[in-house]
Amino acid sequence: MKYALSAGAYKGKNVIELLEKVAEHGFHGLEYLSWRSVQDVRELVKAQERLGVGISAVCTTFFNLVDGSSREQYLEGLRQTLAFCKEAGTPSIITQTGQEIPGISREKQKNDMVETLKQCASLCEAAGVVLELEPLNGLVNHPGHFLQFSDESADVIDRVDSPFIKLVFDVYHQQITEGNVIRNAVAYIDRIHHFHIADNPGRKQPGTGELNYINILKAIKDTGFDGFVALECGYTIDTDEALNQFKRDILRHVEQ
């Protein structure tokens, strides 16, 4: 498996400084979600080549998949994001679904999402970039978010039926939404392209809450998954110290 940091791990650092931190810790990628803030993509590419690590994921620019009348706006945002990915060599794009729309049936909203994602699939296939759909919890952080549960998320992926439309499985969100993290991560591994990790409660670094990340990451590894696992979390102590603890107390046992 490959490990990535989120841009929020180090406040005030630019994208190249963040990539230097990724390399310093022996990780493999950086989630730099707000790609529009990259001022010079050519300098970014040079830094990635020098350091041997790069941006592993960005976000698209518009997050409404459930409203069919917004389809072209969504597709245009995706086209712009794909253009950045092509230039920067970024392999994946994260999207959320947007809020559930009152007064419209859930099935209608899901059908609109599937149709939009089918159109996304052809754009992503041409670019060689995977679009990753992320369920979010509605109990703590994202009330009203349309897609929350693993089984429904997997159903959307199956209906789109493209290797370029997959899931981000965020362990923190899914622990809050439904629990059964290992069971669901393993059951839906064929639909998952990417994992996010943070502990619960608090959304801080693994090892600060109730989740047993040694067991979780071992179970994911045992499936043969070789994609990115990104620390999308806050930190209760100095970031460098927290990452060293994570490597010593968790990764060392997972990778044995």
pLDDT for 162-216, tens place per residue?
999 999 999 999 999 999 999 999 999 999 999 999 999 999 999 999 999 999 9
| Structural domain for 204, as ranges | 2-254
Catalytic choice (20, 115, 134, 178): 134
For the stretch 48-67, pLDDT in tens is 999 999 999 999 999 999 99
Q: Is the pLDDT of residue 87 over 90?
A: yes
**HEC profile for 32-81?**
CCCHHHCCCHHHHHHHHHHHCCEEEEEECCCCCCCCHHHHHHHHHHHHHH
Mean pLDDT of 139-154: 98
Closest C-alpha to 148, from 158, 140, 138 = 138
What pTM does this model have?
A: 0.97
Instruction: Please report, rounded to a whole number, the percentage of residues in the chain having pLDDT higher than 70.
Output: 100
Instruction: Indicate whether 110 pLDDT > 90.
Output: yes
The answer to whether 76 is a known catalytic residue is no
Catalytic hit among 107, 132, 232, 255: 232
Tell me, yes or no, if 43 is annotated catalytic.
Answer: no
Residues 6+ apart with CB under 8 A from 116: 65, 68, 71, 74, 75
pLDDT given for residue 18 in this prediction: 98
Report whether pLDDT(254) > 90: yes
Q: In the numeric block, which tokens belong to residue 218?
A: 């071992």
Taking the CA of residue 94 as centre, how many other CA atoms within 13 Å lie in the half-sphere pointing to its CB? 24
Give the number of domains in the chain: 1
Tell which residue, 143, 165, 164, has the closest CA to residue 154.
Answer: 165
Of 118, 130, 65, the residue nearest 93 (C-alpha): 130
Residue whose C-alpha is closest to residue 171's, from 112, 94, 233, 225: 233
> Across the chain, what does the average pLDDT equal?
98
Q: Give the CATH number, domain containing residue 22.
A: 3.20.20.150
Cα dihedral 41, 46, 50, 51, rounded to 10, equals: 0
Q: Which of 104, 176, 97 is nearest to 137 (CA)?
A: 176
The predicted-structure confidence for 68-83, as pLDDT tens digits, reads as follows 999 999 999 999 999 9
Q: Is the dihedral of CA 245, 94, 110, 146 positive or negative?
A: positive
Per residue in 9-31, pLDDT tens? 999 999 999 999 999 999 999 99
How many helices (DSSP H) and strands (DSSP E) are in the chain? 10, 8
Average the pLDDT over 102-115 and give the result.
98
Give the per-residue pLDDT at 256: 85
